[in-house]
Structure 1
């Protein structure tokens, strides 16, 4: 009987301590992990969000870059961290894809993480040099059908969101291209400008400055609708593939078992940030958009993306680097 009473007392005290911690949250700086090198798209989004959260939560937001293993190193650090709201992560498509890409499965988003909020989306684009052979999507498809696996395209890495987007496109259009994976979008863009590649598939955030300078041209955007900053560029969907959509998305996540009150606090502040001029302009300047919504919607989206990537990895036999 004493053991039962002690057990109830222990549970009650743990719950009380957890609730007290959540009520006071945050009382110290918050670390936000990024599974990519500094200066990349996810890093830029994380820093923009961090500035807003720092102001609204009255605490420092420390961005910690942990690149490697397709973001699995950063995810591992996240799920091994205490579920107290002081270690978070800005994740992208790899979070949903890596469960199928890597064997053994590196983590389980249903069991190991707590979704907090979706942040936004930026289109994946197919781009070529200003004098490239394939100025129109129809030209690319026609040439690829005549010469399978000869047309090259660079990506920021094997199994990354742009690579997956191109695989979705190849499936939809019935063509086969040759992927050249790089360690990030910047070196792929450099080689495209230098004439070593026919195309690149990258997110619009990375390509926009080069298009505006006249060095590169976007052949098609993979978002559901045209980009507001490049309205003359057609989408893949309107080019003969209705319903096609492939974007890079960003979400804020925490370790599993993070107290619901802390998750709610963070979600509320992220939603406020997404309404701010700074965040809407930051994503809007590169053709992206913020993605406000509920916690339940964020969880549902992550699971739907996991299932979509699982099917693609299986059917296209995609292997990680």
Structure 2
């Protein structure tokens, strides 16, 4: 049996302590030397096709975020089912702070009431990151033979001749705006569904229908050319995008406020640091004059909300959109 002298024991213990220190150092050093978020490219899922409004907006904002974060922003288009395919993918993504989603009033407020199984739960599957902007709708007409110069005139005419004024509705959002307007204003109008803005605009300009509800983006070229008159904008307050146009809420329908919106979300469980930092960098991006100008040119009114404010906003939007959809029995074609 080998014996150990006192000196040998001291040497043994000293060597063991050194080895343990090295071992612990090997564990702790990478943690302390780890780079702050983000240390690799960030993926943002856009649940709509490339080239559409949401995609163009995310690429515009993504350019500013990339510069601010000094990291690549990878926009990934996953279109289909009204945004549900991309939203479901984002909901199931690893919540590591490197996958986010451009959410909308459709994916995070309306779709659960329009589809029997969207594939995700907007109330529990996402963390709110930041609001990007609002997309107000407009009620427009090209009719020159109707004595309608504003929302009050429209309501009076509709009440005097119920269901004789057709309104073109090229989207689910337009249908929701229409349903709420008819209910709030007690204006018996007749909605006509279209598959696209181009189709409804063609019919309005051609005189087949007298009215349409659409985005500022779709209507503005014809407004600028004097071919369409704007009766009202659907945001609660007037918009910089259409100076001089009064909101519906100031024309006899108090409190009327139905707008589309775009915001960033993260899979539930994403580190709070990543959520907060991305939110702060997005706020800086929205303060850039050129970014704001380009957003408004595309029909999006910049509006920043932080995580807590956006969470509260979406929590209120879901029953609002759901209530309108259910009451009007709006369906997805």
Judge same fold: TM > 0.5, yes or no.
Answer: yes
For 2:244, which of 232, 235, 239 is the aligned residue? 232
On the 8 A contact 1:132/1:198 being kept in 2, the answer is: no
Matched, 1:144 2:175: no
- Once the two structures are TM-superposed, the CA of residue 287 in structure 1 deviates from its matched residue by 6.6
Q: For residue 122 of structure 2, what is the aligned residue in structure 1?
A: 109
| Aligned counterparts of 2:310 and 2:185: Cα–Cα separation in 1 | 30
Counterpart residue number, 1:128: 141
Query: 2:312: which partner in 1?
Result: 300
Question: C-alpha separation between the residues in 1 aligned to 2:30 and 2:139?
Answer: 52
What does 1:196-211 align with in structure 2 at a 5 Å threshold?
196-211=208-223
Cα deviation code 1:12-59 (max 9, x no counterpart): xxxx9999988342412x332223334433223212211111211223
TM-score (norm 1): 0.84
Distance 1:49 1:129 in 2: 34
- Residue 265 (structure 2) aligned to one of 245, 253, 262: 253
1:3 is matched with: none
SS in 1 for 2:319: helix
RMSD: 2.7
The aligned counterpart of 1:274 is 286
What is the distance in 1 between the residues matched to 2:318 and 2:34?
Answer: 33
The answer to whether the Cα contact below 8 Å between 1:128 and 1:135 also exists between their aligned partners in 2 is no
Distance in 2 of aligned mates of 1:18 and 1:152: 65
> What is the aligned partner in structure 1 of residue 25 from structure 2?
none
Residue pairs, 1:29-108, within 5 angstroms: 30-94=42-106, 95-104=108-117, 106-108=119-121
Count of residue pairs brought into register by the alignment: 303
Relative to structure 1, the CA distance from residue 26 to residue 253 in structure 2 (aligned partners, 3 Å threshold; closer, same or farther) is farther
State the alpha-carbon separation in 1 of the partners of residues 101 and 222 from structure 2: 29
In structure 1, the gaps of 5 or more residues are 1-15
Give the distance between the partners of 1:239 and 1:140, measured in 2 at CA.
10
User: 1:223 and 1:296 mapped to 2: Cα distance?
Assistant: 22
Change (3 A) 1:17 1:163: farther
Shift, 1:304, TM fit: 0.5
- Contact kept, 8 Å, 1:122 with 1:286, in 2: the verdict is no
Give yes or no for contact 1:267–1:295 (8 Å, CA) kept in 2. yes
Change in CA separation of 1:267 and 1:241 when aligned onto 2, cut-off 3 Å: same
Distance (Å, rounded) in 1 between the aligned partners of 2:30 and 2:321: 40
SS of 2:136 mapped into structure 1 = strand
Unpaired segments ≥5 residues, structure 2: 1-28
User: Is the 1:227–1:287 contact (alpha carbons within 8 Å) kept by the matching residues of 2?
Assistant: no
In 1, the alpha carbon distance for the partners of 2:260 and 2:214 equals 9
Question: Residue 185 of structure 1 corresponds to which residue in structure 2?
Answer: 197
Q: Does the 8 Å CA contact 1:34/1:74 hold for their aligned counterparts? A: yes
After superposing the two structures, state which structure 1 stretch, 308-317 or 136-145, moved more.
Answer: 136-145
Cα deviation for residue 268 of structure 1 reads: 1.4
CA contact (8 A) 1:116 1:252 kept: yes
